[in-house]
Amino acid sequence: MTVNLRAIRGRLLARAGALGIAGESEEAIIDALLEREVNVEPPTDEECRAFHAAHPDAFRAGALIEADHILFAAREDAHRSALRDFAQQKLALLQHGEIDFADAAKQWSNCPSAAVGGNLGQLTREQVVPEFWQALEEFGATGIVPQPVETRFGLHIVRVSRRVPGEPLPYQLVAERIAAHLAEHRLRVALRDYAHALLHESLEAQSHAH
């Protein structure tokens, strides 16, 4: 389902107006509305322990990944859908061997690493944004990651050339990190569902009006 961001924003502001929520800017009004209307329970210790057990490779000290990437920068969220399709098309060319990865990076990438064929060198968890590292951990192999990796910067085609797994970290050392990750994910889902519910209500009201 394609998300109409302008329509959702309009519904959020309309909902805030109906509830008498005011603010210095539209962003402040929306923030106040969501804080009031969207409540998310924090993850339990049991849930955090289960996540730790299910993702042992995600919690290691000294883990290194050597990788190259091609970045398709996202300047506006509204263009992300088209950018995903574009990145997927370029990924297919690489997967079929129709172009060399380094040559593709020099031609297509919006990252300074394009000058060196997209090479990022040795990466640690702390050197990249969480969503990038998580995607490479979930891939768990070497070669081209089979789907574009989406981050706040845009879409990345990534090739992993080497992995050094590092030492596993005990649950006690990563419990807070896991809880924060699960809470953030739960909040994103709740916000998305709330916004979509408002938009659905608006569409239903319009259909009944006709």
What are the structural domains, with CATH classification, of the chain? 5-52+171-209 (no CATH), 60-168 (3.10.50.40)
| Mean pLDDT, rounded, for 105-132 | 95
Reply yes or no on whether the pLDDT at 204 is more than 70: no
Assess contact for 160 and 67: CB atoms under 8 A. yes
| Predicted local confidence at residue 2, as pLDDT | 42
Instruction: Look at the pTM and tell me if it is higher than 0.75.
Output: no
At 201, list the tokens: 């209500």
Helix locations, the chain, DSSP H: 5-18, 26-37, 45-54, 80-95, 101-108, 130-139, 171-209
Torsion, Cα 22 24 27 32, to 10 degrees, reads -40
Q: What is the widest separation between alpha-carbon atoms in the chain?
A: 63
Reply yes or no on whether the pLDDT at 5 is more than 80: no
From CA 86, how far away is CA 155, in angstroms rounded?
10
